Structure 1
């Protein structure tokens, strides 16, 4: 019983888009008519059968011959022989010689009712793989898996929503909106899909429509803190600051311990000139973050608020705290440099701007600020 193992690189095989694989010749070569048992990550804890297949053709080639077959190289998913050679040397630890034999295996996937071994829920398996790939940021691969899973049930709300999320991650917002609309045609009371549609509309440059979708989500569930948070963000993008602040405050009534919302509230208050109140929000965000570990962005934002208030020594402390957590962030170095300039500590400020230019040599702002410091020495 020949067994094949596939991983993330073999998504086309798992979804059925491709029905050919190239493997080093086994001691007992595969032959036409053999039954293949194909698994995901054979040696890992995630081992799971993905399909059974029947071998319909086998071609045996030397490694030297294989490297000359552009048709097979492209079909296997490599751009050229150099890439195939590099990847195969990684796959096969032992040395590959010119006369090392490989088998080009072509097969047809068998319907589950014809399997000899244990049956699986193929849709659930592919969905699980899609979710793993999505969570690890491999959006092109997860997109193929969601498409493959939807072939089993085109009306699956979860899959339509996840496909929409996936397309949004790829920047394909119009296509994502179509997926959300399909899901909402089936389940118009799904608050989560309405919220995701709102975010896709916002990212596609239509905040007014985004607000309408967000409002629809809140009509379904007025106490969903995630939807309220994003509605606050959308209102902020529309310049409706009072309404946005009310949305953030409502979120905090529901989820007082959320540092992201306190940060967002602080940013909004800072934007409308309420710096003292913004500082209180940043302090609360930091307090919550520091219960677990430091948040460099929160320290930087607090520093910015203190800078606006003219509390330069305190701002400097915040920037130092941010840099202790993220020492190569040129924005933090630049902000520290500005605080030092305000304190007339120009020599130290020059060092900060030099650090910015080491990290980002094309940073014109740092160059101008450095020159200004040098003029004041």
Structure 2
């Protein structure tokens, strides 16, 4: 019973597009008609069965010929033959002389009712792989897996929603909306999906439609913190700042220890020229974040609020806090430079702008500000 182990990079196994693999020749080479048992080799203690297959063809080739065949290398999942050569030398360090023999195995995936061994829950296996890829931010790959799972069960609401989330993160909002709409036809009372639809509509520059989707989510659960947070952001995009503040205040009534809500409220208050109130919000956010981990962006925004109040020395201290976490952030450095300018500390401002230009020589604003400082030295 020949067993083939595949690395998780071979996602085309899931879609059925991969029907070839290359392995060093075995003591008993494969033959046409042999049965293969194929597994993910995720980690040595957790091998997951993929499928069973039948060998349709086997070709034996020398390593010297293999490393010249770009087409075959691409079938194996490499960009070209040179990449295959590099990887195979790592995989088979004692089997890469010119005369070393490899077998090019072509196979046909068998339907589950023809398997010899134990059958699997194929949809669950593919969905788990998709979830892992989603969680590590490989959205282009996870969407392939979710699409494959939906071929098995086109009406799975969880998978439809996750595929929509993937597509949204890839910027394909129209296709994401199709997924959410299909899911909502089956579960119209799913507030979580209504909220995801609202986010996709907002990102599609359709804030009025986003608000309607948010209305549906609110009818289902008016105290859902995530729905309230995004509803506040939708109101901001519509210029309805009082309504946005009500959303953030409601979140903070329900959970006074939500740093994101304090931060969002602070950003909005800064936007409507209520810097003192914004400062109070940023302080709350920072207190909560510091219990967990520091937040550089909030320190920067607090610095900006202090600048609006002409409290430049305190602003510099905030920018220093932000820069201690992100020392090469050109925005933080520029803000600190401007604060030094307001304090007439032009030499220190020049140093900030110089560092910005080292990080990004195309930052025209930093160049102009530095030139202005030099004129005042």
TM (normalized to structure 1)?
A: 0.96
1:52-78, Cα deviation, whole Å (9 max, x unpaired): 212121111112222343432333333
Q: 2:138 — aligned with what?
A: 138
Deviation string, structure 1 residues 170-192 (Cα, Å, up to 9, x no partner) = 11111111111111111111111
Is the contact between residue 6 and residue 39 of structure 1 (CA under 8 Å) also seen in structure 2? yes
Q: Distance in 2 between the 1:331 and 1:95 partners?
A: 53
Structure 2: gaps (5+ residues): none
The aligned residue for residue 306 of structure 1 is: 306
What is residue 326 of structure 2 aligned with on the other side? 326
8 Å contact 1:5–1:42 — kept in the other structure? no
1:224 corresponds in structure 2 to 224
- Does the 8 A contact of 2:89 with 2:96 survive in 1? yes
Distance 1:117 1:219, change over 3 A: same
Q: How far apart are the structure 2 equivalents of 1:100 and 1:266?
A: 66
The 1:256–1:17 alpha-carbon spacing in structure 2 relative to 1, beyond 3 Å, is farther
Question: What is the alpha-carbon distance in structure 2 between the residues aligned to residue 114 and residue 328 of structure 1?
Answer: 59
Whole-angstrom distance in 2 between the partners of 1:231 and 1:94: 61
Q: Aligned pair 1:69/2:91, yes or no?
A: no
User: C-alpha displacement at 1:116, in angstroms?
Assistant: 2.7
Q: Cα distance, 1:21 vs. partner?
A: 1.4
Residue 5 of structure 1 is matched in structure 2 by: 5
* Structural mapping, 1:23-38, within 5 Å: 23-38=23-38
Instruction: Verify: 1:98 aligned to 2:98, yes or no.
Output: yes
Could you tell me whether the CA contact under 8 Å between 1:13 and 1:20 is conserved in 2? Answer: no
CA distance in 2, matches of 1:339, 1:45: 56
Is the Cα contact below 8 Å between 1:336 and 1:349 reproduced in 2? yes
User: How far does residue 292 in structure 1 lie from its aligned partner after superposition?
Assistant: 1.4
- In the superposition, relative to structure 1, how do residues 44 and 319 fare at CA in structure 2: closer, same or farther (>3 Å)? farther
Q: Which residue of 2 aligns with 1:274?
A: 274
1:229-248 correspondence runs (5 A): 229-248=229-248
1:22 partnered with 2:22: yes
State the Cα distance separating 1:215 from its structure 2 match: 1.0
1:45 deviates by 4.1
User: Which stretch has the larger CA shift, 139-148 or 85-94?
Assistant: 85-94
Contact 2:36 2:52 in 1 (8 A): yes
Distance 1:43 1:60 in 2: 29
Partner of 2:58: 58
Distance 1:58 1:361 in 2: 56
CA distance in 2 between counterparts of 1:91 and 1:134 reads 28
Tell me the secondary structure at the aligned position of residue 47 of structure 1: strand
Query: Take 2:208 and 2:87, find their aligned partners in 1: how far apart are those partners?
Result: 49
Q: Which residue does the alignment assign to 1:183? A: 183
| SS of equivalent to 2:5 | strand
**Cα drift, residue 194 of structure 1:** 0.8
- Residue number in structure 2 paired with 1:88: 88
2:275 and 2:91 map into 1 onto residues whose CA distance is 57
Return the alpha-carbon distance in structure 2 between the equivalents of residues 80 and 112 of structure 1.
33
Q: In structure 2, what is the equivalent of residue 202 of structure 1?
A: 202
Per-residue CA deviation, residues 119-157 of structure 1 (Å, 9 max, x unaligned), is: 321110100000001111112211111111111111000
Q: Report the secondary structure of 1:9's partner residue.
A: coil
Summarize the Cα distance change of 1:93–1:244 in structure 2 as closer, same or farther, 3 Å threshold: farther
Q: Alpha-carbon deviation of 1:95? A: 6.0
How many residue pairs match? The answer is: 377
Which residue is 1:212 aligned to?
A: 212
Aligned-pair Cα RMSD in Å: 1.5
Distance 1:107 1:36 in 2: 8
Which deviates the most, 22-31 or 314-323?
Answer: 22-31
Q: Which is further off, 87-96 or 278-287? A: 87-96
For the residues of structure 2 that align with 1:95 and 1:361, how far apart are their CA atoms?
49
Q: CA deviation digits over 1:247-273, x for unaligned, max 9?
A: 111111222211111111100000000
Q: 1:102 Cα deviation (Å)?
A: 1.7
| d(CA) in 1 for partners of 2:358, 2:256 | 41
Kindly state the Cα deviation for residue 103 of structure 1 after the two structures are TM-superposed.
1.4
SS in structure 2 opposite 1:98? Answer: coil
**Structure 1: any 5+ residue segments left out of the alignment?**
none
